[in-house]
Every structure is written in structure tokens, then in C-alpha cells.
């Protein structure tokens, strides 16, 4: 049963012999009514405050749920991003390894080609050196032969001149003897 301050103030009691002092009862009832009125006002204020706090709590709860959902989505998104980054990194590493293998194979092929060309050039150089030596040796032999031939011709010439001179002397002797 709810009592209002007015009901408390207007409440009347029946008198009995040796009953209570009416002024004291009235004063007490007014005091109780006043406090009761104050309590009712506080109750109304507190109910308003509770309703307001419940509304805010609902707002905060919905915000918390939204934040949790956002957080979960962010975790999921970051997890996917991390996984995608890992996959991309693995793909880049794999491509780099393939390129490195191709570059290495090309370098090996180039090295083999260069070694072959070096060997061919070395053989050609050796062949040229041998041919040049043979050519120079044959030229030296020719020069020596020409020198020997010149010496022989000079000796033959000297011998011929000596013979001519000897014949001349003989002819002169014969001419002198004829005279």
C-alpha cells in the first residue's frame, strides 16, 4: 500500500481515553509526511537517474558490441592481410629464386662459351705463332742461302777474274813472246 504525504497529513485517529497528544501526533505526522514527500521526490529523481543510466548502459553496451565487432573484423582483416603478405612474400622469394637460378645458368653458359672461345683463340694463336716461326725460319734459310749464293758468286767472280787475269797474263806472255 502506497501512502502519499497528503494521506499522511490528513490521517485522523480515533481518540481513546488516555490517548496520545494530538499536537505531537499531528506534528509527527507532518514531519513524516514531509520526509515522505522528500523521499518520494528522491525516488522519482533516482528512477529518472536509473532510467538515464540504463539508457547510457544500453548505449555503452551497444557501443561495446560495435567495438568488439570492429575489433574482431580488424583482427580478421589483419590476419588475412598478414596471410596475404606472407603468401606474397613467398611468391616474391620464389620468383627471386627462379630469376637467380636463370641468371646463374646463363652465367654458367656464358662462362662455358667464353672458355670455349678462349680455347679456340689459344689454338689459333698457337697456330699463328707456329706458322710465323716457320715463315721466319724459311725466310732466314732463304737469306742464308742468298748470302751463301752471293759468297759463291763472289768467289766465282774472283775465281773468274783470277782466271781472266791469269789468262790475260798468259796472253800477254804469249804476245811478248811473239814480239
d(CA 148, CA 168): 29
Place of cell 611468391: 91
Calculate mean pLDDT across residues 143-149. Answer: 86
> Cα dist. 113→105, 106, 167 in Å?
12, 10, 78
> Cα dist. 128→35, 62, 74, 89, 116 in Å?
131, 95, 78, 57, 18
For 11, the grid coordinates are 490521517
More confident residue, 178 or 134: 134
Calculate mean pLDDT across residues 49-64. Answer: 95
Q: Please, which pLDDT band fits residue 79 given cuts at 50, 70 and 90? A: very high
The answer to whether the CB of 3 falls within 8 A of the CB of 35 is no
Q: Please, which pLDDT band fits residue 179 given cuts at 50, 70 and 90? A: low
More confident residue, 53 or 176: 53
The answer to whether the CB of 33 falls within 8 A of the CB of 5 is yes
More confident residue, 161 or 102: 102
pLDDT at residue 14 tops 80: no
Calculate mean pLDDT across residues 60-82. Answer: 93
d(CA 129, CA 117): 18
Amino acid at each position: 500500500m502506497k501512502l502519499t504525504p497528503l494521506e499522511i497529513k490528513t490521517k485522523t485517529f480515533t481518540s481513546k481515553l488516555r490517548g496520545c497528544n494530538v499536537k505531537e501526533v499531528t506534528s509527527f505526522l507532518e514531519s513524516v509526511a514531509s520526509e515522505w514527500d522528500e523521499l518520494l521526490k528522491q525516488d522519482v529523481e533516482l528512477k529518472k537517474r536509473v532510467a538515464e543510466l540504463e539508457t547510457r548502459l544500453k548505449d555503452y553496451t551497444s557501443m561495446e558490441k560495435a567495438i568488439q565487432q570492429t575489433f574482431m573484423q580488424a583482427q580478421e582483416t589483419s590476419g588475412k592481410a598478414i596471410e596475404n603478405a606472407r603468401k606474397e612474400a613467398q611468391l616474391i622469394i620464389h620468383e627471386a629464386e627462379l630469376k637467380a637460378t636463370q641468371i646463374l645458368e646463363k652465367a654458367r653458359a656464358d662462362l662455358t662459351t667464353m672458355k670455349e672461345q678462349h680455347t679456340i683463340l689459344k689454338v689459333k694463336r698457337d697456330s699463328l705463332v707456329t706458322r710465323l716461326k716457320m715463315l721466319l725460319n724459311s725466310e732466314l734459310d732463304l737469306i742464308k742461302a742468298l748470302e751463301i749464293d752471293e759468297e759463291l758468286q763472289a768467289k766465282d767472280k774472283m775465281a773468274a777474274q783470277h782466271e781472266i787475269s791469269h789468262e790475260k797474263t798468259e796472253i800477254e806472255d804469249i804476245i811478248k813472246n811473239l814480239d
